[in-house]
Structure formats: C-alpha cells, structure tokens
Amino acid sequence: MLKQSGNRTISKPTGPVDVQENGKVRVVAADPKKFGELIKSLGRQVFDGKWDDREEAMKILTTLNDKRAVPIFNKAVVSGYTVTMTPAIIALGNFTSDEAFEGLKRAMNLTGKDIRNAGSTELAAQLAGGMRHYAVRSLIQCKHPEAIPLLLNFWNDDSEDVRIAVLHIYGGTDTAEALARLQALSHDRSERVSNEAKRYINLRTKRK
C-alpha cells in the first residue's frame, strides 16, 4: 500500500524496500543495516513530518515489529498527539524488553494534561483514559514479569475501562488481597464495575 505525499511515496516494506523520491525509484536491500536506517528515517518522519506522513510512518513502523523502533514508540507515547500515541502504545505490547515496559509504564500514567490535540479539558481526560486502556491491553500482552503487578495498582483508575480490566485480573486471582479489592470495587461509582465485582464475589462464594 502506497501513500503519496507531495513528491514522496511512503510504502510498507515487503522484502526489498521501495522508496520513490522525485519520480525516481531507489531499491534498498532488506538487510539489518538498511532496515535500521529505514527505522531511523521513519522515526524522524513521525515527529517532524506533515501530519499525514507522521501517521503513515508510524503505521509502517508498527508493522516492522523491530525492537529498534521501541525508542521511537516510547517517545511517541509522550508526544501528546493521539494519532501517534495510540499505535505506539499498541505496538509496545509486542515486546518483552524492559525498555518497552518503561514506555508502557509512562502510558499508564498519562493524564489529560498530556494530550495536546483535545478541544476541552474533559475530552483530554477521556482521551488519556483511552490511552491508559490501550496500555493495559499491551501490558497484558507483553508478558513482562512486572506487568501484572503494575496493573494491579490501577484498580481505582479514573477510567472505567481500566478499572474493569484490572477487576478481571483480580477476579482470576484467589488471594485475600484480590477479594479485598473486589469488595472495594463492588461499591464502585460505575454500576458496570460494581456489578462485575459482585459477580466475581458470588462465584467465589459458590466455590466454597
């Protein structure tokens, strides 16, 4: 799939990488060094290019599944622009490294103040909550040994979706701490959360 922007065409690499510039096609061999150069080039595009180019460059980076893109994803997490934050947070879930985990930790602490392209404080808070929810899913996927312990700290997050996700983790954990958290969540301000917590508590009671 190609996307034309000015006199450049950005393409998803499949085998050799085709780069069209000023009407000329340059073929770059798909070796580690050249791919490293491509990743750096796409990284610059993510932060310095036109908006359409930024989005397309990020899409390509997420399909490469290359650990050398992790620093770019981490930087995008705190860029303030959801068009690059969202795919970066999702992509970090594909890596188990400490570096990727640090990026997801940052994502879990995003607030409305970290969102630049929102029209209101309320919308910014909602968008930040959405980013944290994406981070929850990526943390569960990444299998980092510290991921679940980190998530359990967010049982009282402002985002209902985050609280639900953490609730499910506690629901599958048979410990006194998990039961205490479920009991607290059974009084949650969200009926959806409180009902789900009560369901887990009832299941535990039936198993005894």
* Residue 2 phi, psi (nearest 5): -110, 145
Name the residue range of residue 91's domain.
70-144
What single DSSP character describes residue 112? Answer: G
Domain boundary among 144, 178, 196: 144
pTM confidence score: 0.83
- What are 95-102's contacts with CB under 8 Å, separation 24+? 95/67, 95/70, 95/142, 96/142, 96/143, 96/144, 97/67, 97/70, 98/144, 99/70, 99/71, 99/74, 100/67, 100/70, 100/73, 100/74, 100/142, 100/144, 101/139, 101/142, 101/144, 101/146, 101/147, 102/74
Residue 60 lies in a domain: yes
* pLDDT of the chain, 208 residues: tens digit per residue: 334 344 444 444 444 444 444 444 344 446 778 889 999 999 999 999 888 889 999 999 999 999 999 999 999 999 999 999 999 999 999 999 999 999 999 999 999 999 998 889 999 999 999 999 999 999 999 999 999 999 999 999 999 999 999 999 999 999 999 999 999 999 999 999 999 999 999 998 877 6
In this structure, are residues 20 and 9 in contact, taking their beta carbons and an 8 Å threshold?
yes
| Cα–Cα distances in angstroms (integers) from residue 118 to residues 52, 115, 125, in the given order | 18, 6, 9
- Could you tell me if 40 and 76 lie in one domain? no
Our count of domains for the chain comes to 3
pLDDT at 51: 84
Residue 188 lies in a domain: yes
- Could you tell me if 140 and 172 lie in one domain? no
| Cα–Cα distances in angstroms (integers) from residue 10 to residues 25, 130, 153, 168, in the given order | 12, 29, 41, 41
- Could you tell me if 137 and 173 lie in one domain? no
Domain boundary among 110, 144, 178: 144
Domain boundary among 64, 99, 114: 64
Phi-psi group of 24: left, alpha or beta (phi > 0 → left; psi -120 to 50 → alpha; rest → beta): beta
Measured distance CA(195)–CA(65) in Å, rounded: 39
Residue 150 lies in a domain: no
- Could you tell me if 59 and 76 lie in one domain? no
- Could you tell me if 159 and 208 lie in one domain? yes
In this structure, are residues 115 and 84 in contact, taking their beta carbons and an 8 Å threshold?
no
Other Cβ atoms less than 10 A from the Cβ of 16: the count is 10
- Could you tell me if 4 and 36 lie in one domain? yes
Residue 200 lies in a domain: yes
User: Any idea what the CATH number is for the domain that residue 126 is in?
Assistant: 1.25.10
